């Protein structure tokens, strides 16, 4: 039987942290998992002593965290209000809209307004979001 090497241990640590990350949803633990994975690769390649491995883990975790933070900031800049993913989505009219009414989007009732007259049961498309009010248009 082959002996477990240090790089195996770092890889196991990376997977364990990744599992905890999947349950918690924080970017910080993902950075630690990335740091452990990178440490595993470096340890497999050059076999440094334990102190160097810990130093590599710390540096790799910081670099991974900064990369994730940069990615997160770019993603947030593209979606400043958190509602742009709703644009273009289909909703069902639950109360007649003339010009105000209500629609259902993903099981949730929303106030809606439209320049089109929409009847209960018809479908519309979200064209804008203003707080808790959706602006919709009739589907063609």
Span 89-105, pLDDT tens digits: 899 999 888 889 999 98
In the chain, ranges of CATH 2.40.50.140 domains: 84-138
Measure the CA dihedral 49/51/52/53, to 10°.
Answer: 80
Highest mean predicted confidence (pLDDT) among 17-21, 26-30, 77-81, 132-136: 17-21
Select the CATH number that applies to the domain covering 84-138 from these four: 3.40.640.10, 3.30.1510.10, 2.40.50.140, 3.40.50.620. Answer: 2.40.50.140
CA 10/CA 39 separation, integer angstroms:
7
SS3 86: helix
Instruction: Write down the pLDDT at residue 1.
Output: 45
Instruction: Write down the pLDDT at residue 75.
Output: 63
CB-count burial class (<10 Å; 0-12, 13-18, 19+) for 35: buried
- What are the phi and psi torsion angles at 85 (to 5°)? -65, -20
């Amino acid at each position: 039987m082959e002996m477990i090497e240090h790089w195996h241990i770092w890889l196991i640590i990376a997977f364990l942290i990744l599992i905890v990350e999947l349950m918690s949803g924080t970017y910080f633990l993902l950075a630690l998992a990335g740091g452990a994975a990178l440490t595993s690769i470096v340890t497999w390649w050059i076999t440094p002593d334990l102190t160097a491995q810990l130093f590599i883990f710390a540096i790799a975790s910081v670099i991974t965290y900064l990369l994730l933070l940069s990615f997160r900031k770019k993603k947030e800049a593209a979606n400043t209000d958190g509602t742009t993913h709703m644009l273009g989505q289909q909703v069902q009219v639950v109360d007649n809209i003339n010009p105000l009414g209500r629609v259902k989007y993903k099981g949730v009732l929303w106030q809606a307004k439209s320049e089109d007259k929409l009847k209960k049961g018809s479908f519309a498309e979200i064209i804008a979001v203003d707080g808790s009010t959706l602006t919709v248009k009739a589907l063609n």
